[in-house]
Amino acid sequence: MRPSPARLLNILVPVKRAVDYAVKIRVNPQQTGIDANVKHSMNPFDEIAVEEAVRLRERLKGAVTSITALSIGPPKSLDTLRTALAMGADRAVHVALPDGAPAPEPLAVARTLRAVIARHNDAAAAPADRIDLVVLGKQAIDDDLGVTGQMLAGLLGWGQATCASRLEVDVAAGEALVTREIDGGAEELRCRLPLVVTTDLRLNEPRYASLPNIMKAKKKPVETLSPADLGVDYTPQLETLKVAEPPVRVGGGKVANVDELIAKLKEAGITAA
Amino acid sequence: MGRFHGRSTTVLKPKTTQEVSEILKWCNERCIGVVPQGGNTGLVGGSVPVDNEVILSLANLNKVRSFDPVSGILVADAGCILQMLTDYVAPHNHIMPIDLGAKGSCQIGGNVATNAGGLRLLRYGSLHGTVLGLEVVLPDGKILDQLTTLRKDNTGYDIKQLFIGAEGTLGVITGVSILTPPAPQASNNVILALPSFDNVLPLYQTVKRQLSEILSAFEFIDRTAYDLAVKHGQGRALSDEDVEGAECFVLVETSGGRREHDEEKLNDLLELLLTADKPLVNTGVMAQSPAQFSSLWALREGVTEAVSKEGKAYKYDISVPLSSFKEVVDNTREHLLSKGLLHDKAVKFVLGYGHVGDGNLHLNIVADSYLPEIEEALEPYIYEVVSSHRGSISAEHGIGAMKTHALPYSKSAISIELMKKIKEVFDPHGIMNPGKVLE
Ligand SMILES: Cc1cc2nc3c(=O)[nH]c(=O)nc-3n(C[C@H](O)[C@H](O)[C@H](O)COP(=O)(O)OP(=O)(O)OC[C@H]3O[C@@H](n4cnc5c(N)ncnc54)[C@H](O)[C@@H]3O)c2cc1C
């Protein structure tokens, strides 16, 4: 009989197309949002998630059978998916929104992910084909909400390990060992699969996409779905009242000596206790 | 760079052109030498006094005078830092026609005084073309106002050209009028790994043909330079797999008006390169985000810094025919080896990188410490090599204090004689940056 690993891992990596962090953000004149006509790229935490999934496969060899990247967004999200594919994902799912549609809220994103996982796992011929690990960014740098992973774990009833700075998976044992960044140190968690992991900055440094892989990525399959296909409603539940720039910081001044400093402090009403 | 130390006791920091004029007048009457100093980033010791000259720092002459967003013409004080000007024109969708690794410290006046080349020369040409006018204080204190903003002005001798690249030996530049091009709407870059240097030239031809007007940089880094940049943390390294078997690397940058158009061209090029029967490249990587874009550039721009972290560097910035880049680097290494100078305690690395598009090779020799034997082995050896190729012994860094003795390798006796006459006309008392450019 052909020896086969007791279990196999299928990984889902959701990736968001976000305004690039190097871009200077400008609020639109109507104060309803930001100027979106700027350079976008993959949310850096998601890039780390893709990298981690690819590294898991490099470490675990045949035990990782597939890495699926998923993005919800306008047609240009395809670029973000191509990047994920060029980095090493095998296939992509694009939940397409029209240009200019508001970005879905975290709960809607989590529901979408649950629906995609359910679709996939219901169709799985064998347990080995099921998605049992989701790796995603701990937050997106555009809205900084940082709750999608937690909501997803809640909806699925799976374990969650957030803000991971190290991830080890023992596929045969169906377990993962996750180091999390917490205030003042690190925490180690032993988790059971299936599992939702969110990534922190120190987890890894994402690779460049190599040219041969960029070429190969063009031929990898991308499935396009609509929110309706998945039965998810994107009607916003939150109302944005106003978007404004932070008040301009007023520069400090230089003092010539300690006496002047003390005088200034007193002026500002600061006294020694 | 720790090789030149001044003994000057006085630094003057005038705030206005008028103050510069009064300083020069005073010094001229008393025959006191003056060294104009910009950001002090020059690589040939031009801004360092050779004796006890007065240092005239332009740092406080740092205001933008005007910017016309329609024509893109910027008029600024000479002491404005290049990065500051870049940031100034950015919201108006323009960029400076010049960009170099020292942009955070160097001043536009210093750039003009050295006729700096840099990373955008391939696309936007040299400062001799982009500088439209200058305001210069002459050694006797007279203010030469040629700060025009005209694109065309064929009215006699173009005197301002003389100050571009004069390295402060003819007068002090106080104001610069410069044409800034519209900012490209999209930029991309790739680093290509080449199995052999022989492929650089055919690659350059192919890239030029395929990318034509969107090609904005074609930079060469040999394997030693790349390894040093990585060793000293300049930008994220490529994977081991990608660099395996690479003898050198080329960084290609595109800048254009429409992202989709540029990407299509770039993709066609890459596909062509990868599917060719005899591929010119092993592989390569393409930036997927502005962060990676900067990181790829850092591998190239960081070579200078990596070299100074690694040891004491002898830097030669030469123009030689493209086809001889590798030969020049290899022969220099061989030459040092034959002199028994290639080991831990003498020369550690010989490396080459530079602007292929401009025929400009940076040949660096990294030593454990500056030693007379090394210098003797390198000079006049390198100058003779350059001369045999009819090249230039200083492609973009100038002559400064460091290369005056070598000027004859690039300039004929007649040329040097004319230069001396010109110097005499502008600066009869010889107060401007004495000991620089001309011996
Ligand atoms: C990391 C790094 C990267 C570099 N890359 C490049 C490159 O790619 N291409 C290139 O061409 N060069 C490059 N250079 C060298 C380049 O020549 C200088 O960095 C720059 O142009 C000098 O500007 P500065 O303001 O620092 O001038 P300084 O170093 O202060 O002065 C340089 C010379 O100009 C004179 N000078 C300065 N200001 C004035 C003025 N207002 N009027 C008259 N004379 C003046 C000085 O007397 C001196 O002779 C690089 C340097 C560094 C450190």
Rounded Cα–Cα distance for residues B17 and B135 (Å): 9
Q: Are residue B365 and residue B389 in the same domain, yes or no?
A: yes
Query: For residue B289, is it within any domain?
Result: yes
Whether the predicted pLDDT of A1 surpasses 80: no
Q: Which residues of A touch B290 (CB under 8 A)?
A: 20-23, 39, 41
Domain's final residue, options B117, B151, B179: B179
Q: Which residues of B touch A21 (CB under 8 A)?
A: 290-291
Task: With CB atoms and an 8 Å threshold, state whether B290 touches A212.
Answer: no
Edge to edge, what strands does the sheet with A175-182 contain?
Answer: A185-192, A175-182, A159-170, A195-199, A131-137, A9-14, A64-73, A91-96, A222-225
Q: Would you list the DSSP string of B129-189?
A: HHEEEEEEE-TTS-EEEE----S---SS--THHHHTTSTTSS-EEEEEEEEPPBPPSEEEE
Please check whether residue A135 is in contact with residue A162, taking contact to mean a CB–CB distance below 8 angstroms. Answer: no
Q: Which residues of B touch A212 (CB under 8 A)?
A: 274, 283
Domain range for B352 is: 311-398
CB atoms within 10 A of CB B376: 12
Rounded Cα–Cα distance for residues B28 and B24 (Å): 6
CATH of the domain at B54: 3.30.43.10
Domain's final residue, options B245, B278, B305: B305
CB of residue B107 inside a 6 A radius of ligand 1:
yes
Task: With CB atoms and an 8 Å threshold, state whether B288 touches A39.
Answer: no
How many angstroms separate the CA of residue B351 from the nearest CA in chain A?
A: 25
Q: Are residue B138 and residue B206 in the same domain, yes or no?
A: no
Q: Are residue B299 and residue B200 in the same domain, yes or no?
A: yes
pLDDT category at A93 given cuts 50, 70, 90 is very high
- pLDDT tens by residue, A225-252: 999 999 999 999 999 999 998 888 888 8
Distance (angstroms) between ligand 1 centre and the Cα of B5 equals: 17
Q: Are residue B324 and residue B393 in the same domain, yes or no?
A: yes
Is A78 an 8 Å CB contact of chain B? no
Whether the predicted pLDDT of A7 surpasses 80: no
- pLDDT tens by residue, A212-227: 999 999 999 999 999 9
Is A42 an 8 Å CB contact of chain B? yes
Rounded Cα–Cα distance for residues B116 and A56 (Å): 48
Pair of tokens at residue A146: 């940082």
Domain's final residue, options B154, B179, B204: B179
Query: For residue B419, is it within any domain?
Result: no
Query: For residue B433, is it within any domain?
Result: no
Beta bridge partners of A167: A178
Q: Side chain identity at B159, as an amino acid letter? A: I
CB of residue B206 inside a 6 A radius of ligand 1:
no
Query: For residue B243, is it within any domain?
Result: yes
- The whole-chain average pLDDT of chain A stands at 92
Residue with CA nearest ligand 1 atom 52? B102
Rounded Cα–Cα distance for residues B311 and B292 (Å): 28
Q: Are residue B255 and residue B285 in the same domain, yes or no?
A: yes
Please check whether residue B200 is in contact with residue B354, taking contact to mean a CB–CB distance below 8 angstroms. Answer: no
Distance (angstroms) between ligand 1 centre and the Cα of B146 equals: 22
Domain count, chain B: 4
Nearest to A208 among B238, B270, B274 (CB): B238
Is A116 an 8 Å CB contact of chain B? no
Is A22 an 8 Å CB contact of chain B? yes
How many angstroms separate the CA of residue B291 from the nearest CA in chain A?
A: 7
CB of residue B255 inside a 6 A radius of ligand 1:
no
ipTM over 0.90: no
Give the pairing type, strands A175-182 and A159-170.
antiparallel
How many angstroms separate the CA of residue A17 from the nearest CA in chain B?
A: 11
Please check whether residue B350 is in contact with residue B365, taking contact to mean a CB–CB distance below 8 angstroms. Answer: yes
Mutate to test the interface with B, among A25, A55, A78, A208 (most CBs of B within 10 A): A208
Distance of alpha carbon B383 from the chain centroid: 19
Beta strands (DSSP E) in B203-288 are 215-222, 248-256, 283-286
How many angstroms separate the CA of residue B138 from the nearest CA in chain A?
A: 37
Rounded Cα–Cα distance for residues B286 and B268 (Å): 13
Q: Cα B396–B397–B403 angle (5° rounding)?
A: 120
Rounded to the nearest 10 degrees, the angle between the axes of helix B381-388 and helix B325-338 is 150
CB of residue B102 inside a 6 A radius of ligand 1:
yes
Q: Which residue has the higher pLDDT, A62 or A167?
A: A167
Rounded Cα–Cα distance for residues A53 and A49 (Å): 6
Residue with CA nearest ligand 1 atom 3? B101
Check whether domain A9-241 has CATH 3.40.50.2020, yes or no: no
- pLDDT value at position B2? 52
Rounded Cα–Cα distance for residues B109 and B176 (Å): 7
Q: Are residue B48 and residue B146 in the same domain, yes or no?
A: no
Q: Are residue B149 and residue B253 in the same domain, yes or no?
A: no
Query: For residue B421, is it within any domain?
Result: no
Nearest to A210 among B242, B273, B292 (CB): B242
For residue B379, is it left (φ>0), alpha (ψ between -120 and 50) or beta? Answer: beta
Query: For residue B430, is it within any domain?
Result: no
Q: Which residues of B touch A41 (CB under 8 A)?
A: 288-291
- pLDDT value at position B133? 96
Task: With CB atoms and an 8 Å threshold, state whether B288 touches A209.
Answer: yes
CB atoms within 10 A of CB B168: 28
C-alpha neighbours within 13 Å on the C-beta side of residue B1: 25
Per-residue pLDDT of chain B (439 residues; tens, 9 = 90+): 455 666 677 899 999 999 999 999 999 999 999 999 999 999 888 999 988 899 999 999 999 999 999 999 999 999 999 999 999 999 999 999 999 889 999 999 999 999 999 888 889 999 999 999 999 999 999 999 999 888 888 889 999 999 999 999 999 999 999 999 999 988 999 999 999 999 999 999 999 999 999 999 999 999 999 999 999 999 899 999 999 999 999 999 999 988 889 999 999 999 999 999 999 999 999 998 888 999 999 999 999 999 999 999 999 999 999 889 999 999 999 999 999 999 999 999 999 999 887 889 999 999 999 999 999 999 999 999 999 999 999 998 999 998 999 999 999 999 999 999 999 999 999 999 999 999 8
